[in-house]
Homo-oligomer: A and B are copies of this chain.
Amino acid sequence: MTEQKLRIIPLGGLGEVGKNMMALEYANDIIIIDAGLMFPKQEMLGVDLVIPDISYLIERKTKLKGMIITHGHEDHIGALPYILRQLNLPIYSTKLTQGLISVKLKERRWKGKVTLKTIQPGAKFTLGCFGIEFFSVCHSIPDSVGLIIQTPIGIIIHSGDFKLDYTPVDGKTTNLNRLAQLEAQGVLLLLSDSTYSELRGYTPSERVVGETLDRIMTEAPGRVIIATFASLISRIQQVIDAAAKHQRRVFVTGRSMKDIVRMASELGYINIPPGILGNPNELHQLPRNQVVILATGSQGEPTSALVRIANRDHKQVHIVSGDTVVISATPIPGNEALVNRTVDNLFRQGAQVIYEKLEQVHVHGHGSQEELKLLLNLVKPKFFIPIHGEYRQLSLHAKLAENMGIPKNNIFVLEDGDVLELGRKTGKVVSKLPMGNIYVDGLVVSNLDNMVLRDRKVLSQDGIIAVTIVIDKKEGRLIGKPNIASRGFIDAKEGEALVEKGQDLLITALKQDQGHPTEREAINAKVRNVLAKFLYTETRRRPMIVPITIEV
């Protein structure tokens, strides 16, 4: 009898960050961990969002037992509004995560029913043959958890996103004790966060930022404007605490910041002393050194509060001399230019701006190498899979594990779509799912054929030329001049001369065929060739040429 294997299938987040999702399958049961989205890469022109390809799950609907969400960040919950349309499964998460999921579903106008189950860390529940227990981890959002999963072939530990912070702002440390207990029972597999496997040492405690904020508020001669991620609730708490200490009132600006401060405070995840929040009409009455403004826009998002302030486009807040602006975040890869532009504009307005390069106004939410090693050492798993990272980060994490004594054969650097079959003794990648990117593009959710993205690329570089040719149906004779319309190609001024020359060339070329009716395709090919050659010679550019032949 062959041993029944456990299948582990990353559907997002391995080899490319974002849109985290993983399936565990054993016999007739599948559970899903996380359902995140990814913001489009630069080459995904015009795309709004990218979500995981769940074809594999849709083909196995009857096996699906539920979805587990480790924490409330977009890259772990953002695909839910789209995935629920096809897979309406119960969702298991902690309380704050559930609150954030509800906000998200409302935002995306999810009207259907959904079962949201709140699970406390330490409580156990069962999905099919899987026994599941959450354990607390520190991360840049409260109520984050890792997973202890009892499977028929052994214990699996999934770290979620984590760091070790022995002095977290909310007092909840990563539950290392629970993990240490499991080691005694023997852990089959550890799946661990690789996001910061490139960084040596330890990630500093969130408290370090509190100390910097405290110093800034001491020294700032006027208002202190602080931008951070709305979901970075511990950071917001520290801003409030520092403001309270320095007798400053806090004014919140930016929709998502207001929403989350309200929700987190209602659910008890943020502690706002009475009288500390100012209301808008007090903003200009208080002395400036009694004011803190908490704003969205730490990523330079074009419509955010901070960017509007930087562009002198904010209704209530204009920069004045003596203002100090703190960007308490790190730019997410791809956002550097937006953030830099915002900082430049704030300096232009006369603010002093303090950002990550200048002071420790931000710390990461993921563990660095020493923390990753500590976890590996504590858990001592038989098998290891680095998760949540670009390929290089997974590779470096794998190397760490190998250096700590896990045999190379027991370490699996997987990428999205790899199907790993794991037994008690060995594991093997048995196949690779054909995975496409699923794009959310306005109302359309599809795996956009590559043609559309390729066309957008060409259009964005050299523009387009539409050439309309009217042909006499009977005689194949060209009627009138070809009509040439261009967009995004060249200056109107320079373009005019080119268009005229192009028309003449086309007329000459098409006249040769006159009298014997020609296939439309042949005409189109001729138009394309003649014009492409001419334009390349004249401009060294290759605009897209769209011939439209009309017979009348």
By a beta-carbon cutoff of 8 Å, the part of chain A in contact with chain B is 15, 41-42, 45-46, 198-199, 333-334, 336-337, 340, 343-345, 347-348, 353, 357-358, 390-392, 395-396, 441-444, 446, 448-449, 451-453, 455-464, 466, 468, 470, 479-480, 483, 485, 487-494, 538-541, 544, 546, 548, 550, 552
Contact = CB atoms under 8 A, between A and B. Distances in A.
A463 B390 contact: no
Nearest to A391: B344
A48 to B, nearest CB: 9
Contacts of A198: 357-358
B347 A337 contact: no
B480 A464 contact: no
A459 B488 contact: yes
B353 A392 contact: yes
Given A333-B340, A353-B392, 13 more contacts: A45-B488, A198-B358, A199-B357, A336-B336, A347-B392, A441-B490, A442-B541, A443-B538, A444-B494, A449-B491, A451-B492, A456-B463, A485-B546
B491 A464 contact: no
Nearest to A441: B541
A444 B456 CA distance: 22
Contact of A42 (B42, B343, B463, B493): B42
For A396, A492, A548, the residue with the greatest tally of chain B CB atoms inside 10 Å of its CB is A548
Contact of A466 (B15, B540, B548): B548
Tallying the copies of this chain within the complex gives: 2
B539 A443 contact: yes
Contact of A490 (B42, B444, B464): B444
A550 B468 contact: yes
Contacts of A345: 391
Nearest to A495: B452
Contacts of A494: 444, 446
Given A460-B460, A463-B459, A548-B468, A344 B452 contact: no
Contact of A485 (B396, B457, B466, B488): B466
A444 B538 CA distance: 9
Contact of A461 (B45, B340, B466, B548): B45
A532 to B, nearest CB: 13
Contact of A46 (B353, B460, B493): B460
A466 B463 contact: no
15 contacts: A45-B460, A46-B460, A46-B541, A344-B391, A344-B392, A345-B391, A443-B540, A449-B493, A451-B492, A453-B488, A459-B487, A464-B487, A485-B548, A487-B546, A548-B548
Contacts of A45: 460-461, 488
A138 to B, nearest CB: 23
Contact of A456 (B396, B461, B470, B479): B461
Q: Which of A15, A466, A546 has the most CB of B within 10 A?
A: A466
B333 A336 contact: yes
Nearest to A357: B198
